[in-house]
Amino acid sequence: MSQSTCVELNQLEFQWPGASFPLLHIPHLQIQQGERVLLRGASGSGKSTLLSLIAGVHQARPNQVHVLGHDLAQLSQRQRDRLRANEIGYIFQQFNLLPYLSAVENVVLAARFAPARVARLKGEAGSYHELAEHLLTQLGLAEQDSKRPAHQLSVGQQQRVAAARALFGRPALIIADEPTSALDIDHRDNFIEVLFNACEVHHTTLLFVTHDGSLAHHFQRAIELNEINQAAGGR
Ligand SMILES: Nc1ncnc2c1ncn2[C@@H]1O[C@H](COP(=O)(O)OP(=O)(O)OP(=O)(O)O)[C@@H](O)[C@H]1O
Ligand SMILES: [Mg+2]
């Protein structure tokens, strides 16, 4: 695996416990550091499952998933959690914000248990709260909204908080699972612009799931899951 490879899959096979068929069998996939990749596929085809395997939330077998040079199956649970906290910003399909914390506090939380993010933030001027607020402003959240508890924000606003949390402290890889589905067109375009600029400036890899075909031109590569997935149970 070369220095600049961010994600590499080799003979990845995955079957959910209790399922009759394997969901995924991906012979090979390589994503370079800094690449922006769109992942497409029918509902239920396994996109979110694949993202969770790359993030180390669910486990593949040895040699099947390498992220930033690490074979995830060879890491302990603690090492996997650490790698994820430091180097992977995950924007979930359901945002997973802590409802009673403010938007800013949700963002700052990304630096907790993430010493590498903290080290990178130390190089920037301002407190964590100021840096988080700045990021939220860039993503189009008004200053007064960034102080409100997440559960009082609209779905689109929560989505922007989730993106800021993923970007905070510049992880190497951003995984975004349909992050624009709740946004109107203006907010979507602004969201995409800020996310892509941040990725470009910091040479961050972006793996992005969307059903929105009009976003395809923003990406260097589009992957159709059904084309790379050879599992009988995959669609
Ligand atoms: N935690 C789980 N336990 C068991 N089966 C699961 C689990 N999560 C997902 N699945 C199954 O895996 C298959 C793929 O689900 P997944 O969420 O990865 O699809 P998806 O491509 O992300 O779909 P969508 O576009 O609707 O989000 C589905 O059949 C689903 O029922
Ligand atoms: Mg999904």
With bands split at pLDDT 50, 70 and 90, how would you rate the model's confidence at 233?
low
Segment 165-179, tens digit of pLDDT: 999 999 999 999 998
**pTM of the complete model:** 0.92
Residue 32 CB less than 6 A away from ligand 1: no
Tell me phi and psi for residue 141, to 5 degrees. -95, 125
Say yes or no to pLDDT of 19 above 90: yes
Measured by CA distance, the residue closest to atom 27 of ligand 1 is 43
Mean of all residue pLDDT scores within the chain: 92
Distance 47 CA to ligand 1 centre (A): 8
Distance 51 CA to ligand 2 centre (A): 9
Residue 45 CB less than 6 A away from ligand 1: yes
Segment 126-147, tens digit of pLDDT: 899 999 999 999 888 999 999 9
Residue 46 CB less than 6 A away from ligand 1: yes
All domains of the chain in start order, with CATH: 36-60+82-228 (3.40.50.300)
Residue 226 CB less than 6 A away from ligand 1: no
Distance 219 CA to ligand 2 centre (A): 19
